[in-house]
Amino acid sequence: MTHPRRRLRPEQRRAEILDAALEVFAERGYRGASLAAVADKVGLTQQGLLHYFPGKDALLIEVLRRRDEVDSGAYTPSGNGLEMMEKLVTHNATLPGLVQSFTVLSADSVTDNHPAKEFFTERYRRTRETLAESIRREFGEEPPGGLTPEQAAALLVAVMDGLQLQWLLDPGEVDMAAVFHAFAGLLRSASPAAPPAPSSPTDHGYAG
Amino acid sequence: MTHPRRRLRPEQRRAEILDAALEVFAERGYRGASLAAVADKVGLTQQGLLHYFPGKDALLIEVLRRRDEVDSGAYTPSGNGLEMMEKLVTHNATLPGLVQSFTVLSADSVTDNHPAKEFFTERYRRTRETLAESIRREFGEEPPGGLTPEQAAALLVAVMDGLQLQWLLDPGEVDMAAVFHAFAGLLRSASPAAPPAPSSPTDHGYAG
DNA sequence: GTCTATATTAAGATAGAC
DNA sequence: GTCTATCTTAATATAGAC
């Protein structure tokens, strides 16, 4: 046995590492995570891992980018903006690990010199824009309750994020899907007269 | 000069340290913060600081507890639950540092073995309970939009938290006070007929 | 009450063997 | 491609001097 190690194509290895890294970052946050812990999970040493990624920062950014790509390919609910969000929240309620990673890392990212600060700023900006577009198609320039489409978008994302945090801390007390659904109902009922515009479902790629 | 150091009553010292610690925790998260950095801010060494607190965990918990006490004494907006929340959000929009500390640390607290996990779980539970009580007084058993009082409470807290995150990342793009105000308007407009019950303002002590 | 000194542990990163 | 070995830095914590 000249080559006792596990035979893996480089791309498989990288994917493995990225999955393991997401777990560790979710469990301990960016600063609390160690490369050695990630390496352990895939049966490598820290130095073996560093063959695939130049450093911790780059690993984090790649984890986040890849996750968005994969998720938006694997799960894109159909319907208008509000319906999509509702389905997404219900979907996320079955994936506490994934929810935790984005909840932890997005808040982490507001700290000083955090490597994912730009990533999350841009991601939220894009999400709001796409969602506002969708709201415009659905409700026109005046969505329910005197909100602008941009405000409604920020609000929807805020509700989703805020509920995730409470749900992670206390899953028995907070039913995030139920509350989000009720909130969606509130939005609809406040709507003057929603003209179901011909919608082309947009992938906003929002999974966290 | 037999005693060259700064003369401070122990309670002042402790207060100083707690303030400095909150800053450092907000800037770097719990795991990224170092006792030495906190000590530096008040002109002590790490070991000098440890004379006042047994360790990092205890320091964090004390920081959070004290902050809630001080804030609820210093700022308690009047009015019903919804009005109080609106005023609180407007108030918080002038205190990015404080908002950052609670945003960062609350999300941090969902990670494995985090010393503040219980603190935040209990804090959110209390906040929801108090807020639900206030909503009951204001709207009776059926608040706007088919929500239960408990759901409405979770929703309000979620909106506040979620907007804080987006605002911290992108203060130029997200006007959290404006969006929260619009959201409050949405809730009110969805209300069947809000009977202004005789309210005794309740301090829910929610500052983050 | 605060310091110096130090023990211990662990992190990220680099160099080079195989 | 992955390892061993090592450098460097930094963390919490303890012991004990002043």
Q: What is the CATH number of the domain that holds A32?
A: 1.10.10.60
Check residue B51 and give its pLDDT: 97
Check residue A42 and give its pLDDT: 97
User: Among all chains, which residue has been given the structure tokens 């949405």?
Assistant: B186
Whether the CB of A128 is below 8 Å from some CB of chain B: the reply is yes
Higher pLDDT, A88 or B192: A88
Check residue A64 and give its pLDDT: 98
Q: Which residue is nearest to nucleotide C5 (CA to C1')?
A: B47
Containing structural domain, residue A149: 79-208
**Within this chain, do residues A94 and A179 fall inside the same structural domain, yes or no?**
yes
DSSP state, B93?
T
Q: Which chain A residues touch B31 with a CB distance below 8 Å? A: 28-29, 31-32
Closest C-alpha among B66, B52, B61 to residue B19: B66
Q: Are B43 and B53 in contact (CB under 8 A)?
A: no
For residue A155, being part of any structural domain is answered with yes
> Environment class of residue B24 by beta-carbon count within 10 Å: exposed (0-12), middle (13-18) or buried (19+)?
buried
**Within this chain, do residues B93 and B190 fall inside the same structural domain, yes or no?**
yes
User: Looking at the predicted structure, is the pLDDT value of residue B205 above 90?
Assistant: no
**Within this chain, do residues A117 and A199 fall inside the same structural domain, yes or no?**
yes
Confidence of residue B15 (pLDDT cuts 50, 70, 90): very high
For residue A34, being part of any structural domain is answered with yes
Domain tally, chain A: 2
In the structure encoding, which two tokens stand for residue A193, read together? Answer: 């007269």
**Within this chain, do residues B87 and B48 fall inside the same structural domain, yes or no?**
no
Check residue A157 and give its pLDDT: 98
For residue A3, being part of any structural domain is answered with no
For residue A160, being part of any structural domain is answered with yes
**Within this chain, do residues B102 and B23 fall inside the same structural domain, yes or no?**
no
**Within this chain, do residues B94 and B61 fall inside the same structural domain, yes or no?**
no
**Rounded distance between C-alpha atoms, residue B122 and residue A100, angstroms:** 19
Report the 10 Å Cβ neighbour count for A34.
13
Q: Are A200 and A156 in contact (CB under 8 A)?
A: no
**Within this chain, do residues B186 and B88 fall inside the same structural domain, yes or no?**
yes
**Phi and psi torsions of B63, nearest 5°:** -55, -50
In the structure encoding, which two tokens stand for residue A130, read together? Answer: 């796409």
Q: Do B179 and A125 touch (CB under 8 A)?
A: no
**Within this chain, do residues A34 and A95 fall inside the same structural domain, yes or no?**
no
Whether the CB of A34 is below 8 Å from some CB of chain B: the reply is no
What does pLDDT average to over chain B? Answer: 90
**Within this chain, do residues B40 and B98 fall inside the same structural domain, yes or no?**
no
- For the stretch B100-151, pLDDT in tens is 999 999 999 999 999 999 999 999 999 999 999 999 998 888 888 889 999 9
**Within this chain, do residues B63 and B156 fall inside the same structural domain, yes or no?**
no
Check residue A10 and give its pLDDT: 86
**Rounded distance between C-alpha atoms, residue B72 and residue B206, angstroms:** 8
For residue A1, being part of any structural domain is answered with no
Residues of chain A with pLDDT under 50: 1-4, 193-197, 201-205
**Within this chain, do residues B101 and B128 fall inside the same structural domain, yes or no?**
yes
For residue A202, being part of any structural domain is answered with yes
- Domain with residue A178: its CATH number is 1.10.357
**Within this chain, do residues B47 and B120 fall inside the same structural domain, yes or no?**
no
For residue A2, being part of any structural domain is answered with no
